[in-house]
Structure 1
Amino acid sequence: MCVMEPLIIIGTGLAGYTLAKEYRKHDSYSPLTLITTDDGRYYSKPMLSIGMSRKQIDTADAQEMAEQLNATILTNTRVTAIDPQHHLIKIGNDELRYRQLVLAWGADVLQLDVQGDGTEEIYSVNNLQSYEIFRKAVSGKKRVAIIGSGLVGCEFANDLIAAEHHVELISQSHSLMPKLLPADVAAPLQSCLQTLGVRFHFGVGLEEVNRIENGLELTLTNGKLIHTDVVLSAIGIKPHITMALEAGLEVNEGIQVNHLLETSAPDVFALGDCAEVEGHVLLYVAPLMACAKTLARTLAGHPTPLRYGPMPVGVKTPICPVVVCPPPRGCTGQWQIHAEGLDVRACFVKDEKLFGYALTGRYVKEKYALNKQLTIN
């Protein structure tokens, strides 16, 4: 009797588990194996940046997920090599053959280049385990310095303030979320966070972190000193590509895949934060969900090209609701901005066509109407 090799998914983050769930909607019985370096708990990664003001983040353990997915889940297991030519992966001296392989192992956090004897007190949050370490570090502490003014830094600032911490936010940029928001849209969010008590330091970097008697002393590149208890680095992530490169897969910023999410090797696919889909790395939930649903159909024997719909990004800052649908990279339009106090509607327009938008306050509810007007490339 011929035994079918499994579909193997490396990674049990939001990408890996969402793909497995979607795949089981099309194929309930074919062998499925998920492999993860951690304990395999299922959780919603977007909740990590708003979890400090809550008692806990809901999870399901690996055994529960294995039963739900009719799958084998190998936890605390590190894949050491991929051999696309022979359809196998290596785990130390052991080998596993695959029918199809999906790389969903995510991204690595960017590391701060700083000096001082307190650099061990710099934390970053990129998964449930690192979140739990950070949460333990801030327990009983009041002062937190956040490095980075991107989406994650802003969400943590709002959440930590809500959890009654004192927050200093330090950024080399001159506004909040400069890669996502025009300055006129970022200003209301900054104003609201300042009202809560967040202190901003723009246009400067972090040079040193040193231990002092009652916490840490940060030296900024402009010479200013800040005293804090814990440092959270939120300067960004980069796709994990090292093993793919070693396996001979084509990589650029991420693992290069086509409109079917196929890599350069037969029967090897990639999605999520590690993938570069036809030249674009999109580190947000909406494109991940679109990719998972599409790839699930392809893996189940119904090749389906990826087509993105509107992909708005909701910024989880309750003090000032923000939603943004970024214009396509390289699109040469202009922002048309209408503001009434803290309520801003910004539309990115080219040739009288809408290619993106950013909304704050009461204008957030207009996203559904604007989604219908969007020009999708």
Structure 2
Amino acid sequence: MHPIIIIGSGMAGYTLAREFRKLNPDQELIMISADDAANYAKPTLSNALAANKHPDQIALADAEKMQQQLNMQIKTHSVVTAVDAEAHQIQIETNDQSERLHYSKLILALGASPIRLALSGVSQDEVPAVNSLVDYRVFRQRIEQSQNKNIVILGAGLIGCEFANDLQHTGHQVTVIDLAAHALGRLMPSHVAQAFQEKLEQAGIRFHFETTVNQIDKQDHGYKVSLSNGQNIEADLVLSAIGLKPNTQLAENAQIHCNRGIVTNPMLETSQADIYALGDCVEVADLVLPYVMPLMQQARALAKTLNNQATAIHYPAMPVAVKTPAAPLTVLPAPLNVELDWQTEQFDDGMLSKATDTHGTLRAFVLLGATAAKQRLALTKLVPDLVPAL
């Protein structure tokens, strides 16, 4: 019998391997990793400075240790160049050596890549984006080399705000730029986004909204960031946090149906037989959810399916905790294309905002501040599942 092959050594790939090994200790597993396959939790990257964690302390285990723990072969620094779905084979390149591997089942845990703006004046290498531990090591080196600790972040989404809070907390002056009108504007209504933004501003973070970057010019010490609204900002470092785009190219080349992500059914099966997908690259039931809780649900279901216990994905309500201690925030994003009525309750330290549909059913909420956060569990129980099991 050919092995099960997992392409990708991020949280999705390792979580699936771990869940599968709980059910099946013997089936041959192979993981293909484009980097060193260090096992770490990616969400820790955006608050590692405040947690006083050096990059060397973030990895939980190296590839050799993970091979032993999970009884699995890991091919590091290996790139999958092609998938032959009909022959059940993949082509990989490792240190200029080419190899073809047969699989019984193939798992695409390809993750997502940072969206990059086309910038004038500097190369993209001058503006790092942090999407892996490898990226984070480069970022930390750049931070340690900066002179006056003025940092500009492009993007006021979840990752941009988390990095802004982390950097500001550790003595940097942070300025965040976004074309939107508010921070986290896609996740919550404008009045809550405004309150969240004000708390971050009270911590010292500066925002420039409804504008974008025209040009970034390198100077003797740092950069000059020129905005479309005519303002200029001096920075020692510019960080890109525009957002993520699912990695779909390998799947598309294998004639697998893709939309925003790699499209699967509730069993996480792609349009090609014996090929599955999970994690940041997957789109199931029209949802792309690049968060930890959906990933865990996917891994548990898929592990059972791979062990001949066909199991559909089950998405309960899954609130997202934003790591911004200056403005504690939990968000259950509103479903798309649903008419909602938002009601807000104010507290001394924040607010609770709830969204109900035309039937009066709770569908989304935002908890800002410690007082509101106490209602997270009770509210979550009231929200219907996003994707019920079949």
Q: Cα offset for 1:137?
A: 0.7
In the aligned structure 2, how far is the partner of 1:67 from the partner of 1:117? 44
Does residue 343 of structure 1 match 2:350?
Answer: yes
Q: Corresponding residue for 2:169?
A: 162
Output the CA distance in 1 between the equivalents of 2:327 and 2:188: 14
Mark the CA change 1:238 to 1:118 in structure 2 (over 3 Å): closer, same or farther. closer
AA of the residue aligned to 2:45: L
> Is residue 2:179 matched to residue 1:172?
yes
1:250 is matched with which residue?
257
Which of 292, 295, 298 is residue 305 of structure 2 equivalent to? 298
2:82 alignment counterpart: 81
Correspondence 1:322-341 to 2 at 5 A? 322-341=329-348
- Number of corresponding residues: 374
Query: C-alpha distance in 1, partners of 2:19/2:124?
Result: 41
Q: Matched residue of 1:323: which SS?
A: strand
**Aligned mates of 1:374, 1:23 — CA distance in 2:** 29
- For the pair 1:29 / 2:34, whether they are aligned, the reply is no
* Residue 266 (1) aligns with residue 273 (2): yes
Residue 59 of structure 1: aligned partner: 60
Say whether residues 1:44 and 2:41 are aligned partners. yes
TM-score by length of 1: 0.97
- Partner residue of 1:11? 8
Residue 97 in structure 1 maps to residue 102 in structure 2: yes
- Distance in 2, matches of 1:257 and 1:273, equals 13
| Counterpart contact for 1:22–1:293, Cα < 8 Å | yes
In 1, the alpha carbon distance for the partners of 2:332 and 2:199 equals: 21
SS of structure 2 residue aligned to 1:250? coil
CA deviation profile, 1:314-358 (whole Å, cap 9, x unmatched): 000111110011122211112111122441101110121101111
Residue number in structure 2 paired with 1:320: 327
Residue 192 of structure 1 deviates from its aligned partner by 1.9
The CA distance in 1 between the partners of 2:123 and 2:216, in whole Å, is 5
Q: Is 1:370 matched up with 2:383?
A: no
SS class of match (2:250): helix
Partner SS, residue 256 of structure 1: strand
The one-letter code matched in structure 2 to 1:13 is G
Aligned to 1:215: 222
Provide TM-score, normalisation by structure 2: 0.94
The CA distance in 2 between the partners of 1:172 and 1:195, in whole Å, is 21
Q: Any conservation in 2 of the 1:219–1:225 contact (CA below 8 Å)?
A: yes
Query: Structure 1 residues 360, 77: closer, same or farther in 2, change over 3 A?
Result: same
Percent sequence identity over matched residues?
Answer: 41
Q: Is the 8 A contact 1:7 1:101 kept in 2?
A: yes
SS of corresponding position for 2:15: helix
Q: Once structures 1 and 2 are overlaid, which stretch shifts more, 182-191 or 314-323?
A: 182-191
C-alpha distance after superposition, 1:127-176 (max 9, x if no partner): 11011111111114211100000000000000001111110111111111
Cα deviation 1:221-275 (Å, max 9, x = unaligned): 1111100011100000111111111111111111110000000111100001111
Aligned residues of 1:188 and 1:342 also touching (Cα < 8 A) = no
The alignment partner of 1:80 has SS state of strand
CA distance in 1, matches of 2:124, 2:85: 40
* Contact 1:12–1:40 (8 Å) recurs in 2: yes
**Distance in 2, Cα, partners of 1:176 & 1:132:** 27
The residue matched to 1:373 in structure 2 has which SS?
A: coil
Partner of 1:191: 198
Distance in 1, Cα, partners of 2:317 & 2:244: 23
The equivalent of 1:138 in structure 2 is 143
Greater shift after overlay, 38-47 or 116-125? Answer: 116-125
Per the TM alignment, residue 91 of structure 1 is displaced from its structure 2 partner at its CA by: 1.1
Separation of aligned partners in 2, 1:39 and 1:333: 46
Which of the residues 362, 371, 376 maps onto 1:354?
362
Is the 8 Å Cα contact of residues 145 and 169 (structure 1) preserved in structure 2? yes
